[in-house]
Amino acid sequence: MNFHFDHSYCQRLPKDFFIPTNPTPVPNPSVLLFNDNLARELDLSPGNKDLEEAAAFFSGNKLIPGSMPIAQAYAGHQFGNFTMLGDGRAILLGEQITKTGIRFDIQLKGSGQTAFSRGGDGRATLRAMLREYLISEAMAGLKIPTTRSLAVVKTGAKVYREEVHEGAVLTRIASSHIRVGTFEFAHRFVPKESSFLMDYVIERHYPDLNLSKSRARDLLEEVMLRQIDLIVQWMRIGFIHGVMNTDNMSIAGETIDYGPCSFMNTYHPDTVFSSIDVQGRYAYGNQPHIAHWNIACFAGSILSMIHEEKEVAIEMAKEVLNSFPTIYEEKWQAMMFKKLGFSNEADLQQRKNSLFTLLDWMTKNKADYTNTFLVLQGDMPMKGIYLKEDFKEWFDHWQSIEKGNEKDRINIMRENNPLIIPRNHLVEKALDEACLENDLSFFEQMLEVFNNPYRQNAAYELFMKVPENIDVGYKTFCGT
């Protein structure tokens, strides 16, 4: 494989932001999954890979030539409480530079203890790493900005949690692993070095801001806009992150950390499945509010760089933060209008009435979020609750809003409504078979269908069916 490593993070930031750390060797590494398509995007020439060498590289047993392994320092608000964190079980090998000059982090997750492990073993379970591989690749297929998964390597060692599990290492690819929590770390612990971090982030992710006369203020706005766009996309497909701590909010605007994540089947804004989110802080409907809260934490961490006078800086930050609800609402509504197939020419108030009436109906009737839109666009039969009189009345009115525009309406809907999502029960089935029976066939089938989850395909029927009492008692776990 052809690695072209650079190490701008180490070379441009002070040493307080990382600690050189080698992965801890494992007894018997073997490649379980390798993402050939992603490898090609990274210019790694996957066809030339040696599986034994790949197992050594992606387990951390052998350092990839040119790599410079580090554990990154960061902090974060976890369920609202600030704490020092850092890479406790992940090691950044370096930044792969593609032939077109695009930069990607290559990180090993589950590669052993670091100075930030806080008493943990630095390892990861096979089940948790397979979950991240599956969901992150599904999110990419669903056209959601996300970190990606290049490989899963079994370690041949046991990992002890509530039960004994097989160990694994995931190779994670990201635009970068810089988080809101990285800025919080700088602000709290090395404030004099915060400007280095801001300069680096602007150069790497927001180079146009180099021309700005108020770079920190404008960085706050740009990060906020990317987060709004990301959350709107989560809401579009019913994705629930499950642990939206500030250390899990990427400055690049990608979905990162697939621990207790899940997907909403039965529609309700209060839906939450994370076993550690007992108060529903990170419920489906709360995600935009938490994103706003996290961005406020980001603003607090760069306040001194927004303006030298604190009161002026506060007012400048408030101006940006106060725009969040309106911008989010406009973008969310625009997205939901596309799910309903409305053009921008349709009467705005009629569009709003139609949307909110449908959401109320879905809540009261415990309708499936994904499949309701498939019923509307004719990709699923109209039966069961969709034969109720109140739904038929709504349906007739919805169709009347842009009468004669049915073809364009369906085209818009099919671009925005996936036929399939990673249904929780199917994800668990794939993980059970892979981990308990050493059978990856269904797991790989799920990966295959997420190559294009918007394309009509008879093979998708299994993935579109919703069992009765779906998700009753279902819980997800962070895997640490």
Q: Does the annotation mark 247 as catalytic?
A: yes
End-to-end, the C-alpha distance of the chain in Å comes to 31
Task: Work out whether the CA dihedral 471, 474, 475, 479 comes out positive or negative.
Answer: negative
Calpha distance 434→479 (Å, rounded): 16
Calpha distance 1→5 (Å, rounded): 12
Calpha distance 277→469 (Å, rounded): 22
Nearest-CA neighbor of 353 among 323, 333, 331? 333
The tokens describing 178, both together, are 């810089």
**Is the Cβ–Cβ distance between 214 and 313 less than 8 Å?**
no
Q: Where are the beta strands (DSSP E) in 43-147?
A: 70-72, 75-78, 81-84, 90-97, 103-109, 124-125
Question: What is the Cβ-side half-sphere exposure of residue 113, based on CA atoms within 13 angstroms?
Answer: 7
Residue with tokens 């999110």: 139
Calpha distance 255→227 (Å, rounded): 9
What residues does 104 pair with on adjacent strands? 96
247-270 b/e (C-beta count within 10 Å ≥ 16 → b): bbbbbbbbbbbbbbbbbbbbbbee
Annotated catalytic residue, options 87, 121, 247, 257: 247
What residues does 33 pair with on adjacent strands? 152
The tokens describing 65, both together, are 């030539």
**Is the Cβ–Cβ distance between 93 and 135 less than 8 Å?**
no
- For residue 70, the SS3 value is strand
The tokens describing 343, both together, are 């053009």
Calpha distance 429→142 (Å, rounded): 20
- For residue 247, the SS3 value is helix
Active site residues: 247
